[in-house]
Structure 1
Amino acid sequence: MMLFMIVPLCALLSFSQQVRSADKCVCELTNSEQAFPHDKLSTVEDNASKCNMEITSQKILELESLLLGLDRRLPQLQEDVAMLEREDDGELYGVVSLQVIENEMKDIEQLIDRLNSTTMEDQHLALDVTKQLEDVKAEMQDMKRYDTMQVVMRQEANQRLKRELNQCRNGLHPIIQPTQPQHGNCPHGQFVNITGPRVNTVGEYPGTHKYGAWGRDPQPEVGKENWHWLVMMITSNRYSNYVRLYSSLSSLIVGVSVPGNIVIHTSNPTTNTIQGPNVVLFSGALYYNCYNQDAVCRFNLTAKTITTLQLPKGTRFNSKGNFCYLDECYPFTDLDLATDESGVWVIYTTTQDCGNLVLSKVENNENMTLGQTWHTSVYKLGVTNTFMACGVLYATRYIDKEMEEIFYSFNTVTGVEKFNIGIFIRKMSPNMYSLNYSPVDQMLHAYCDSIMVSYKVLFE
């Protein structure tokens, strides 16, 4: 019996036997295979890590900041030269103005030098990283020959066969489209993961205004396609009375606000100002929880008009139905406003639903009305935030100070709930007070303890 067990084990090994005594048997096993180059693999891993460290979003932001600074300085210089030409008296005024213009030109020259230097560094970095990646790829291809059992090759073949099998099945049995109307046009496919963060900035108010929200308008007005907005809770971390606008992401990062604040009311708080951090901007209007009401307010940024939408009787408000986890609740998060490809949604809870999440579509008509409503089976006190993407509600929960999990989804088309999504978000700060999905660029914008962070949403 022992002989039959030894032979398969030594199939790839040279085998010799030497009898030294009547009761002893000595086996010498010699490995005929090459030793796997662990040192080489370790070097490849180090090179890959080095590439990840060298290519950072900070380098891109630095370039964008320099370009933004140059873009703002040149028109100012042009304006100063035009003023000199109009008002030069040939004496004192001209000398002072020329000195100002000379200083500005020196600043611009320094800015251009820094820009050129940064561009050259980025070009060299790109060439170096490309070469490193090619080397890493070549090394990994070379190490494939150590896979004598062809495990990797067979895995790749199995994956290819599975894809072909799925394509064949889908071709023979086409998916039946649901009879209910789609609430959002989702050309991207199925939501499968999140990467990032792509942006991590404190903006122009570092360390202040713990609660807030930020993002982009999914349906912007003409000329405002790249604008970003920011709403901070400026009174007791609970209330606000204005929205702050930025002409681009770079402007938000470096803290240059144009056109600045759009004020809802001079008092804060007061009737129809903002209560709680769950705010969104859609089609040039700000949607939020009206102060001291179980209602949604819509503030038109251009007309400066406010429309209110009363929510169903029994809706919890004034910090009675917050997002929570075991150690903490986020005050005044009773109502969560969300946007996706189809428009605006409101997520809340009622006494009739025993604290479970309720989802309603906000019809963006003249009077703003409440559209179709869905009742879920997920308890709001066990949820830290929600957002919408392509007509699907997603809920998150607190894992620890460094990680949040998207654990739940509710499909408004099929009515299917899932509690096992298992997509994790790496946090820059322990608490995520708001999450806004942007269908314009498929980004997820988070506001975390005064830090603005964004992640890329990946679709299949």
Structure 2
Amino acid sequence: MKLCAIFFLCSLFNTTQQLNLKDRCVCELSNKEKAFPHETLNSVNDKALKCSQTATPQKAQELEILLLGLKLRLPQLLNDVSILEKENDGELYGVVSFQVIENELIEITNMVDRLNRTNQGHQHLTTDSGRQVVHLRAELQELEQYDTLKVEMRRKDNQRLKRALDECRDDNDHNPQPTHHPDSMQTSGVCPHGKFVNITGPRFYSTGESPANHKYGGWGRDPEPEMGKENWYWRLILNGNNIYANQISFYSSLSSLTVGVKTPGNFIIRPSNPTTNTIQGPNVVLYGGALFYNCYNSDQLCRFNIETKTISTVKLPKGTRYNSRGNFCHLSECYLYTDMDLATDESGVWLIYSTVQHFGNLVLSKVDISFPEDPPSLNQTWHTSVYKQAVTNTFMACGVLYATRYVNKGMDEIFYSFDPSTGVERFNVGIFIKKMCPNIYFLNYSPVDQMLHVYCDAYMVSYKVLFQEIK
């Protein structure tokens, strides 16, 4: 019985082996990606470790210790010299004092020699370390090309964002306050939110899907959206020359905007070659399902209806500055093709620009959009006494015009306001914007959520506008 069982198992094993050999499937795997250079990565790690072991904090402390020693010994030498000057016998005590001073000078000379040698060694160390860091950075940049999933790039963005948020959190208690009393703020009519007194933030900071070389653009929300589009966001990116754009993108939520998921997608306004109706400049707004912008290469205001894809225009007053002749500026730079600035608030759409007749000062016009089927037109117009090229941005909030100026790379100031209902101008508003980029190329107020939307160096940033309740 045992022999039969053994014979049966041997036969089954042989049959199974034959089937496996006969029916086996062989797959060939070919990897088209370049092999990752592990040796280069190990070399970079070794060099970085060696560099960190060579340039240590202890070496910097050597200089501090020697300098501290000199700082303590020099007063002692002065004290010994003063004692010598007061001695009168000129013999025994004078000889002893001279000997003490000589010993002090020898020790100080030795310390200075050591300090010079240490300083020279540190200079060579700094030069060598700097050269190694440059080489390591170049090698790391070459290794980054293997990061096809952009994991490292996103990690750096997250680290940058975390640093920015930490700075904002640290500065929260020291946020500059308005230099005026809140009761002195003027508003046009009755603002539903109260009086504009300050801003906080940034609340949102992201590049989304934007390429880094496209610095100019705009983004925001529609204050009068169609039903079902209340949570939508729009974004517009100018071409590589930062002059014009041909399309606007829509996103179903702020999360979709952050990760770059477009819904329903792009709306093409004109072909890639710019024409009269192409968008020029970053200062555009969306209101009531229509995009308002400066028509390309002309002193005209365009309105693009998203639903019907039709364009209507209105010619601006004679002498209006356009084609980058009346930009927003500060001492170091002007922002290209920002001659005309569109703005939205609780009451509708506004246009801020400048004219030759008014010596380049800010001009404010209300855009009449009462009849969407008709072309837009300019309603009432006001002239101000602030020079446009001394301003970096403007926006409207509750019927009041506000202007910003450049303070430094980290701060802009809302310094000016004009209330068209009273004609009152103020030059000491004193509300500060903590910038995430040196230059703000787009700034607009959203009455939907009382946020300031900012676009700077391909980054989208938002700030919360604070209002004080009117009692």
Residue from 361, 367, 372 that aligns with 1:356: 361
Aligned partners of 2:308, 2:240: CA distance in 1, in Å? Answer: 25
Aligned with 2:218: secondary structure? strand
Give the deviation of 1:206 after TM superposition.
4.5
Give the deviation of 1:205 after TM superposition.
1.7
The answer on 1:405 being equivalent to 2:438 is no
Residue from 346, 350, 353 that aligns with 1:345: 350
Aligned with 2:283: secondary structure? coil
Q: Describe the superposition over 1:220-259 as per-residue Cα deviations: whole angstroms up to 9, x where unpaired.
A: 0100000000011114111001101000111001111111
Give the deviation of 1:267 after TM superposition.
2.8
Counterpart in the other structure of 1:377:
385
Aligned with 1:277: secondary structure? strand
Q: Contact conserved, 1:240 with 1:268, CA < 8 A, in 2? A: no
Give the deviation of 1:269 after TM superposition.
1.4
Aligned with 2:282: secondary structure? coil
Q: Describe the superposition over 1:34-59 as per-residue Cα deviations: whole angstroms up to 9, x where unpaired.
A: xxxxxxxxxxxxxxxxxxxxxxxxxx
Aligned partners of 1:367, 1:352: CA distance in 2, in Å? Answer: 26
Counterpart in the other structure of 1:259:
264
Provide the alpha-carbon RMSD of the alignment. Answer: 1.8
1:329 aligned partner, one-letter code: C
Matches within 5 A, 1:106-125: none
Matches within 5 A, 1:204-223: 204-223=209-228
Aligned partners of 2:240, 2:247: CA distance in 1, in Å? Answer: 12
Percent identity, aligned pairs only, is 68
Aligned partners of 1:333, 1:206: CA distance in 2, in Å? Answer: 21
Aligned partners of 1:435, 1:268: CA distance in 2, in Å? Answer: 27
Aligned length: 283
TM-score (norm 1): 0.60
Aligned partners of 2:211, 2:302: CA distance in 1, in Å? Answer: 29
Aligned with 1:351: secondary structure? coil
Residue from 281, 286, 294 that aligns with 1:289: 294
Q: Describe the superposition over 1:113-157 as per-residue Cα deviations: whole angstroms up to 9, x where unpaired.
A: xxxxxxxxxxxxxxxxxxxxxxxxxxxxxxxxxxxxxxxxxxxxx
Residue from 427, 444, 447 that aligns with 1:419: 427
The answer on 1:248 being equivalent to 2:256 is no
2:193 aligned partner, one-letter code: H
Aligned partners of 2:307, 2:239: CA distance in 1, in Å? Answer: 23
Aligned with 1:279: secondary structure? strand
Aligned partners of 2:272, 2:251: CA distance in 1, in Å? Answer: 23
1:444 aligned partner, one-letter code: L
Aligned with 1:319: secondary structure? coil
Q: Describe the superposition over 1:13-34 as per-residue Cα deviations: whole angstroms up to 9, x where unpaired.
A: xxxxxxxxxxxxxxxxxxxxxx
Consecutive aligned runs of 4 or more in structure 1 exceeding 6 Å deviation: none
Counterpart in the other structure of 1:450:
458
Aligned with 1:424: secondary structure? strand
The answer on 1:201 being equivalent to 2:206 is yes
Aligned partners of 2:423, 2:254: CA distance in 1, in Å? Answer: 36
The answer on 1:276 being equivalent to 2:284 is no
Q: Contact conserved, 1:243 with 1:263, CA < 8 A, in 2? A: yes
Gap runs ≥5 in structure 1: 1-161, 167-176
TM-score (norm 2): 0.59
Q: Contact conserved, 1:235 with 1:268, CA < 8 A, in 2? A: no
Aligned partners of 2:217, 2:270: CA distance in 1, in Å? Answer: 18
Give the deviation of 1:367 after TM superposition.
2.0
Aligned partners of 1:269, 1:421: CA distance in 2, in Å? Answer: 40
Counterpart in the other structure of 1:143:
none
